[in-house]
Structure 1
Amino acid sequence: MVKKLLPYLGEYKKETILAPVMVALEVVFELLIPLLMAQIVDHGIQGDGGVSYTIKIGLLMILLAVLALICGGLSGRYSAIAGMGFAKNLRSGLFSKIQTYSFANVDKFTTASLVTRLTTDITNTQNALMMILRMAVKAPIMLIGASIMAISINPRLSMIFIITMPILAVALYLIGSRAHPRFLTMLEKYDGLNEKVQDFIVNIRVVKAFVREEYEEEKFGDSAKAVRDTQLKAEKLVILNMPIMQFVIYSSIVAILWFGGNMVVSGDFYIGELSSFIMYMMQTLISLMMLSMIFIMLIISRASFSRIIDGLEEVPFLDDQGADPTLDLVDGSIEFKQANFSYNRDPNNLVLKDINLRIESGQTIGIIGGTGSSKSTLVQLIPRLYDVLSGEVIVGGHNVKNYQLKTLRDQVAMVLQNNVLFSGTIRDNLKWGNEHATDDEIIAQAKAAQAHDFIMSFPDGYDTELGQGGVNVSGGQKQRLTIARALLKNPKVMILDDSTSAVDTATDAAIQSAFKNSFKDVTTLIIAQRVSSVSDADKIIVLDNGEINGFDTHERLLESNVIYQEIYESQSKGVSANE
């Protein structure tokens, strides 16, 4: 698992190596100090070394302490640089991987889960690395070094803490094996909490409009309680580590003082040797405590490791394998051949069934049908946001799978049902369609989308700052901006997914007229709820429960298609009643 994350150390390999090197030097200096202290007691104070010997050894101890302090500080600095750099690279790598996901991959993980992986999970991993670079190096070196020094001083007395080590090892193993699944569950609850926060913040205007703050507070409280309960359940096991560790340490101290004191009284052991032995024993037990802390951190982080690796190793449902990098989309012709589609890849639960139709390049095609008739699903197959379960989707004379995704999607502009704008200026948002677009091109496409006039009504015009998600423009204005943004791509296929539903009929008619007069070579597909929005189209697709119920002109459908007749008549009656 760790091997899969090591490549993300990247340019911070030097700091990753230097941190444990400094830690090792720090431990060496610390291990020498108790030995020198014993020399002072046994030879300087009780022996014939005198004051000069005591001062000389004392100064050497101070020097070792200063060197240990310097090495410790450097190891902390290097581990911090390595840990934060590793987190940066890992976060960038995971974000880049998510960029390759298809809609189906995102649906599998959920947005909230991906946010948790990019934040909480990577922070846990960063902390684990920083701890490993210091404690995981310091603890074993100190454990081995202090044990060797203690054994060399008194092998019999050393048996006390040698016996305690297996007890701690067994206890830690039992704690760790049972805690890991609980921490996995805790992180899943974090996903749910993030989802509630995201829903509330994004939809805060709706919440306030319906005065549902208390309801949202209750939902958030339930999610927060679920996180607390699962965290408490996991921590109940982890907190056992400290009392077990303290019991072993204090028991060892008492035993060493008892047996060591008797040895001193009987003359088998010097006081200086006992004091240094106790210090080495403390270093041994402290190193064991550090190992237990590392163990607990790894238990917590292991769940994060696995979730991050799952994200990195996720295979996109859509990729460029088998695509021809030289293939270009030459025109906007579209053809569906016996196309079937299911979101869960289940042939017994098809969303689109046996779709057969051909659209000539430059045609304007309307798509109409009831709610849930799979209008949006049909058009999402054209830029290959999803793949058909069976059959073919052909654009520009070639199967969409033969194009590289960038080549295909650069030539298919899509205005989705959910109009999304980003923080920044209107100009910045429009340039998402073409980052190299000139001001003249931006203004021309804004005029075609009937957006120029309202943009210029703002004091800062195209430099007007939009709030997050475009909260300071109306729904109709947002739709027109997203249409202008799509037009700037200069595509061969334009898909408008119910993207004029929030504009008045006059503006809608003006947009359709602009498309017809200025974009004759662009194949345009218009999903609409209003018949008036598609009545001038070359042909209209009538969808019913995922099947094509009709595909003809407005006039012929009025004559022959029952569903289209019902939609037209119901809307005509509504217009008459309003008049």
Structure 2
Amino acid sequence: MLVRLLRERLAPYRTWLVAVVAFQFAGVLAMLYLPSLNARIIDEGVVAGDTALIWRLGSLMLAVSLLQVACAVAAAWYGSRTATAFGRDLRRDLFHRVGTFSAREVQDFGAPSLITRTTNDVQQVQMLVVMACLIAVSSPIMMVGGVAMALREDLGLGWVLAVVVPALFLSVGFVVSRMVPSFRAMQTRIDEVNRVLREQISGIRVVRAFVREPYERERFAVANDRLTDVAVTAGRWMATMFPLAMLVVNVSSVAVIWFGGHRVDDGQMGVGSLTAFLTYLMQILMSVMMATFMLMQVPRSAVCGDRIAEVLDTETSVAPPTDPVTPDPARRGWLDLEDVALTYPGADRPVLEGVSFSARPGTTVAVVGSTGAGKSTLVNLVPRLFDATGGVVRVGGVDVRRLDPDALWSQIGLVPQRAYLFSGTVRSNLLHGRPDATEEQLWAALEVAQAAAFVADLPEGLDAPVSQGGTNFSGGQRQRLAIARAVVRRPAVYLFDDAFSALDLATDARLRAALGPVTTDATVLVVAQRVSSIRDADLILVLEDGHVVGRGTHDELVAGCATYQEIVASQLTAEEAA
């Protein structure tokens, strides 16, 4: 998968890669030419006392050295530019792909793993591209060219190369093969550490409230130790590689000097040729060691490439239609569910089954039921966070599976069960609902959501900062800001998924009264736990184990639905007391 990923993602940068190869080729040729010039200076200039030849060849060596430096700088510039652009594009494509995922795919991968794949994994593959541009091109050229130039200097010492180069390759290959499983396990355990750390940071108040710091420290220590163990194993193999390579280099140097010295003594080669041969041998072995750096990165990058490709190759289960249509303007706000069912993959029984109702603009449909009855799942089917496995969900008279996703979402104002705010300001969060909203429209939405008073009391007003998740606001304030974000959009269908649970009864009543005039031309679907929040709804659905066990108005259900009667009875005393 890594090869396919690199081939596809580096295709737009062929010109830069060609430049890298060209400059690396020129630079290596210049480097290979220098020892030969040095040998001529020693054998023809120094021995013969030809000062003019020494100056001429020395000047040529200086010019070749400057050319080699210029080529190396140019190759590094193009290589780093290619790798940086590659990493940028890969992170962008991963982000966009994750943005198309339904809730099912996000749950399958897990948020910590998706974060690691988009950051750490991309960085590892990007590092491989850098090393490939700087090393993978130059090392083979230097190795082959070095062997040719060394044999040109003296063929009699060629047997040293025939022994040393394969020995170095075999030793490095053995170590790299041992490192692959460790790197694969390392990425999985980085995910595990990321997951534990994310849970502890997100739930820090719960941890402190129940005095679970020692337990959480131990849980993190276990995950951290597991990562440390595999990292130490990989590090030990990595540490073995360099001494092993240096052993081969030093033994080969001694062999060249020993046997080459005898050949010089016998007059079979010159001192300059011996020096050049030794230099070429060092260049060959250094090229192998440079390739070793890249080979050390390949196993880990291969694992990361597989993980990245897995995300990029995953298609969302909520696929956009091939021939999308737009909602019928004459049926704006129409919401219809016909015999809807939903079964999760591998589940023994459906979460929802046989749910049907119709709602028109100006009406409110409420859904109540016990925990786990399927209320939030029902709401998530309308904006296609999941796709129904049975039946049809229609918005604006059109099956949501045939609607253009942007057209569908533009019709909906969703307030999720967990009110989430993005880091920024109050204004920027409200503009998520309607980017072109004016300040007057923002304040009007805040008035409806009963949030205008506390926002006006903030020193910066609409420009008051909001931390990640809105943690600098209380739960009730977050819910009201989330409701204002939906109201400012003025959608055709409002979806309130237990959006009033953090509000006191008085604020809840004022907010519902203010919503009435705003939603006269829209359909409202409300999931609620409190009967007081939905007693005035035009239609109330009572869910139990994914089935509709009651439907009607509040009075009708009180008279004829046992499940609804139990819900009302459980809340009656508290409501009367309030």
Give the TM-score, by structure 2 length: 0.95
The answer to whether residue 469 in structure 2 is matched with residue 469 in structure 1 is yes
**Secondary structure of the equivalent of 1:206?**
helix
The answer to whether residue 494 in structure 2 is matched with residue 494 in structure 1 is yes
**Secondary structure of the equivalent of 2:401?**
helix
The aligned residue for residue 143 of structure 1 is 143
Equivalent pair of 1:19/1:133 in contact (CA under 8 Å) = yes
**Secondary structure of the equivalent of 1:469?**
helix
* Structure-2 separation of matches of 1:217 and 1:70: 53
The aligned residue for residue 380 of structure 2 is 380
1:202 deviates by 2.6
Equivalent pair of 2:169/2:288 in contact (CA under 8 Å) = no
Aligned 1:221-240 pairs, distance under 5 A: 221-240=221-240
* Structure-2 separation of matches of 1:328 and 1:377: 26
* Structure-1 separation of matches of 2:336 and 2:127: 53
1:14 deviates by 4.3
The aligned residue for residue 57 of structure 2 is 57
**Secondary structure of the equivalent of 1:536?**
coil
Equivalent pair of 1:368/1:375 in contact (CA under 8 Å) = yes
1:328 deviates by 4.6
The aligned residue for residue 44 of structure 1 is 45
Give the TM-score, by structure 1 length: 0.95
Equivalent pair of 1:319/1:405 in contact (CA under 8 Å) = no
Pick closer, same or farther for the CA change 1:503–1:327 going to 2, 3 Å.
closer
**Secondary structure of the equivalent of 2:436?**
coil
The aligned residue for residue 184 of structure 1 is 184
1:415 deviates by 0.5
The aligned residue for residue 459 of structure 2 is 459
The answer to whether residue 528 in structure 2 is matched with residue 534 in structure 1 is no
1:572 deviates by 0.9
**Secondary structure of the equivalent of 1:336?**
strand
* Structure-1 separation of matches of 2:394 and 2:469: 34
**Secondary structure of the equivalent of 2:470?**
coil
* Structure-2 separation of matches of 1:323 and 1:502: 42
Aligned 1:271-290 pairs, distance under 5 A: 271-290=271-290
Spell out, residue by residue over 1:41-97, the C-alpha distance to the aligned partner (whole angstroms, 9 max, x if none): 111111x25222222212222222222222222322222222222211211121111
* Structure-2 separation of matches of 1:483 and 1:308: 36
Pick closer, same or farther for the CA change 1:59–1:2 going to 2, 3 Å.
same
* Structure-1 separation of matches of 2:382 and 2:323: 16
Aligned 1:368-447 pairs, distance under 5 A: 368-447=368-447
1:345 deviates by 5.4
**Secondary structure of the equivalent of 1:496?**
strand
The aligned residue for residue 154 of structure 1 is 154
Equivalent pair of 1:411/1:492 in contact (CA under 8 Å) = yes
The aligned residue for residue 29 of structure 1 is 30
Pick closer, same or farther for the CA change 1:16–1:204 going to 2, 3 Å.
farther
The aligned residue for residue 166 of structure 2 is 166
- Larger mean CA deviation between 360-369 and 207-216 belongs to 207-216
1:11 deviates by 6.8
The aligned residue for residue 300 of structure 1 is 300
Spell out, residue by residue over 1:369-388, the C-alpha distance to the aligned partner (whole angstroms, 9 max, x if none): 11111110011001111011
The aligned residue for residue 205 of structure 1 is 205
- Larger mean CA deviation between 254-263 and 430-439 belongs to 254-263
The aligned residue for residue 355 of structure 2 is 355
The aligned residue for residue 113 of structure 2 is 113
**Secondary structure of the equivalent of 2:468?**
coil
**Secondary structure of the equivalent of 2:322?**
coil
- Larger mean CA deviation between 449-458 and 511-520 belongs to 511-520
Equivalent pair of 2:128/2:298 in contact (CA under 8 Å) = yes
1:358 deviates by 2.8
* Structure-2 separation of matches of 1:179 and 1:491: 56
Spell out, residue by residue over 1:402-442, the C-alpha distance to the aligned partner (whole angstroms, 9 max, x if none): 10111111111110011111111211110100000111211
* Structure-2 separation of matches of 1:533 and 1:327: 30
Query: CA RMSD for the aligned pairs?
Result: 2.0
The aligned residue for residue 334 of structure 1 is 335
The alignment-based identity, stated in percent, is 34
Matched residue type, 2:189: K
1:326 deviates by 4.4
Spell out, residue by residue over 1:98-119, the C-alpha distance to the aligned partner (whole angstroms, 9 max, x if none): 1111111111111111111111
Matched residue type, 1:340: A
Pick closer, same or farther for the CA change 1:111–1:362 going to 2, 3 Å.
same
The aligned residue for residue 102 of structure 2 is 102
1:312 deviates by 1.4
* Structure-2 separation of matches of 1:134 and 1:22: 10
Matched residue type, 1:89: D
Spell out, residue by residue over 1:314-366, the C-alpha distance to the aligned partner (whole angstroms, 9 max, x if none): 111112133424455632222222222123254x3311122233333432011
- Larger mean CA deviation between 77-86 and 371-380 belongs to 77-86
Matched residue type, 1:331: R
Spell out, residue by residue over 1:120-170, the C-alpha distance to the aligned partner (whole angstroms, 9 max, x if none): 111111111111001111101100111000111222311212233333333
**Secondary structure of the equivalent of 2:287?**
helix
* Structure-1 separation of matches of 2:522 and 2:190: 46
**Secondary structure of the equivalent of 1:386?**
coil
* Structure-2 separation of matches of 1:229 and 1:503: 49
* Structure-2 separation of matches of 1:135 and 1:75: 10
- Larger mean CA deviation between 321-330 and 21-30 belongs to 321-330
Matched residue type, 1:77: W
- Larger mean CA deviation between 393-402 and 32-41 belongs to 393-402
**Secondary structure of the equivalent of 1:401?**
coil
Equivalent pair of 2:343/2:352 in contact (CA under 8 Å) = yes
Equivalent pair of 2:5/2:305 in contact (CA under 8 Å) = no
- Larger mean CA deviation between 245-254 and 186-195 belongs to 245-254
**Secondary structure of the equivalent of 2:340?**
strand
Equivalent pair of 2:360/2:522 in contact (CA under 8 Å) = no
* Structure-2 separation of matches of 1:550 and 1:234: 61
* Structure-1 separation of matches of 2:288 and 2:311: 34
Pick closer, same or farther for the CA change 1:575–1:511 going to 2, 3 Å.
closer
The aligned residue for residue 450 of structure 1 is 450
* Structure-1 separation of matches of 2:323 and 2:382: 16
